Amino acid sequence: MATNARGLQAVRAPELCELGAVDAACGIRDGLFSSEQLVQSCLDQIKAVDDKIQAWAFLDPEHALKQAREADAHRREGKALGSLHGVPVGIKDIIDTDDMPTEDGTVLHAGRAPVANATVVSRLREAGAVIMGKTVTTELATYAPGKTRNPRHPEHTPGGSSSGSAAAVAAGMVPLAVGTQTNGSVIRPAAYCGVYGYKPTFGLISRHGVLTQSPPLDQVGVMARCVEDLALIAEALIGYDENDTATRPVPRPRLLEIALQEPPLRPWLAFVKTPMWEQAEAQTQEAFAELAEAIGGQVEEFTLPVHFKDAWEWHRAIMEADLARNFDQEYDKGRDKLSASLRGQIERGCKVSAVEYNRALGKIPALNRALDELFDNRYDAILTPATTGVAPRGLDSTGSPVFCTFWTLCGMPAVTLPLMQGGNGLPLGVQLVGRRGDDARLLRTARWLVGHVQQVLAETAGQ
């Protein structure tokens, strides 16, 4: 069997869909397999399992294979290859694609066919990725669930709003997917489905061509099956875009290179329970106590200032006021086709005053300054639950985002790592949150933590 630089052996086609993105890109580059073989393997997996999971809002196997064949032809011609050359990616169905519908999880947008790609889709294409299809979102990326089920247990929610993206990655249908988070919509479904999720610092990835829910809160994120894959795709997506005024002309972080490094010093983690701790299930509280113990001397509990608890209300005011403004057409023309929960949010949002809204926005820089101290003084990252517990049973809700709200408001980078599980075997996500703008360090710390926990578990098992 052929072996490439990463020590990968040519694998049989049916197993390709299990590969991570870094390995897949490497295998294609080195000629161990073709993009077409990889995409076919993913399509086979979709065919085998998606009837039960329902991760896709739009999927045209022929169109995906056509892109894969073009990627293969490109390579055969000896042209330069992008970092994601030939690797399939699932795209949340609120992100515009010029060759597939984008229906935003609502019948009100059925048949919507954008004429242009979102900036993130253009960037993926520039990196050589195959746009596999559109993954299921909740209604307008808010709370009312789509059709997707949790691959770990079909009677449980996959979480939302990036439900299909998380489920598709978890079920081996694609190695990578793109989602968005305005409250907890990347971290929560990734945690519930047992995959790795990453929401970069606010403003690193352009939202141009993505459904607008709340401009100060909307953030693009990614899902994968390991930390280095998160770094690989995020690095392709990050960049200044004159069409999104939240993006800034700053140097693009070398996420993958840094994520792969060993930390120069053993990282210190601040275990932050947040004012929402009481909402965490008993098994979550216990699991985090055990995790902190397993990590050992590298973690210390850190209590946020008491007044930070108001931040959840500031987030609500901003988000609901923005839902009311951005979904006014949907409400005016089709409110009977909106969920009761979204109607309620919109109606509350109409009552938020401009003063309240702008005052809430004005808190964000102050919160970040206060948190800077935490990072300055000692800690590499904040350790905190990703969710209140494992994916709740039932498909009529997508679970609670309260353990994501604060970090989303602050625009801080966050990852969830599927390092633990609940009593019923469902995954329980470990969230690490970094300093705003310090994404590479966060990913390096995350990769260290994964290795450290695995080592501790191995030692425990060996005793």
Residues in contact with a copy of itself by CB under 8 A are 240, 242, 245, 248-249, 317, 321-322, 324-325, 328, 349-359, 362
- Which tokens go with 44? 């086979």
Q: Minimum CB separation from a copy of itself for residue 325, in Å? A: 5
Active-site position among 35, 83, 163, 185: 185
Q: How far is CA 261 from the centre of its chain?
A: 22
Nearer to a copy of itself, 188 or 363 (CB): 363
Q: How far apart are CA 53 and CA 240, in angstroms?
A: 36
Closest by alpha carbon to 196, among 450, 369, 6? 450
Q: Which amino acid is at 269?
A: L
Q: Minimum CB separation from a copy of itself for residue 159, in Å? A: 28
Query: What Cα–Cα distance (Å) separates residue 310 from each residue in 184, 307, 383, 403, 409?
Result: 17, 6, 21, 14, 12
Q: Minimum CB separation from a copy of itself for residue 253, in Å? A: 17
Residues facing residue 181 across a β-bridge: 219
Q: How far apart are CA 372 and CA 379, in angstroms?
A: 10
Nearer to a copy of itself, 249 or 425 (CB): 249
Active-site position among 83, 161, 165, 214: 161
Q: Minimum CB separation from a copy of itself for residue 363, in Å? A: 12
Q: Minimum CB separation from a copy of itself for residue 356, in Å? A: 7
Q: How far apart are CA 358 and CA 450, in angstroms?
A: 39
Contacts of 105 (CB under 8 A, 6+ apart): 57, 93, 94, 136, 137, 138, 139, 140, 141, 146, 161
- Which tokens go with 408? 């989303």
Q: Minimum CB separation from a copy of itself for residue 255, in Å? A: 22
- Which tokens go with 97? 């694609």
Q: Minimum CB separation from a copy of itself for residue 258, in Å? A: 23
Give the DSSP letter of residue 144.
Answer: S
Nearer to a copy of itself, 39 or 321 (CB): 321
Tell me how crowded residue 61 is: count the other CB atoms within 10 A of its CB. Answer: 16
Query: What Cα–Cα distance (Å) separates residue 25 from each residue in 85, 233, 235?
Result: 6, 11, 14
Tell me, yes or no, if 185 is annotated catalytic: yes
Nearer to a copy of itself, 155 or 242 (CB): 242
Q: Minimum CB separation from a copy of itself for residue 350, in Å? A: 6
Active-site position among 34, 92, 165, 214: 92
Contacts of 155 (CB under 8 A, 6+ apart): 149, 393, 394, 395
Q: Under DSSP, is residue 176 helix (H, G, I), strand (E, B) or coil?
A: strand
Q: Under DSSP, is residue 331 helix (H, G, I), strand (E, B) or coil?
A: helix
Nearer to a copy of itself, 282 or 355 (CB): 355
Residues facing residue 56 across a β-bridge: 135
Nearer to a copy of itself, 362 or 423 (CB): 362
Nearer to a copy of itself, 198 or 331 (CB): 331
Q: Under DSSP, is residue 119 helix (H, G, I), strand (E, B) or coil?
A: helix
Tell me, yes or no, if 34 is annotated catalytic: no
Cis peptide bond upstream of 165, omega within 30: no
405: phi then psi, degrees, rounded to nearest 5? -50, -50
Nearer to a copy of itself, 96 or 320 (CB): 320
Query: Which residues are part of the catalytic machinery?
Result: 92, 161, 185
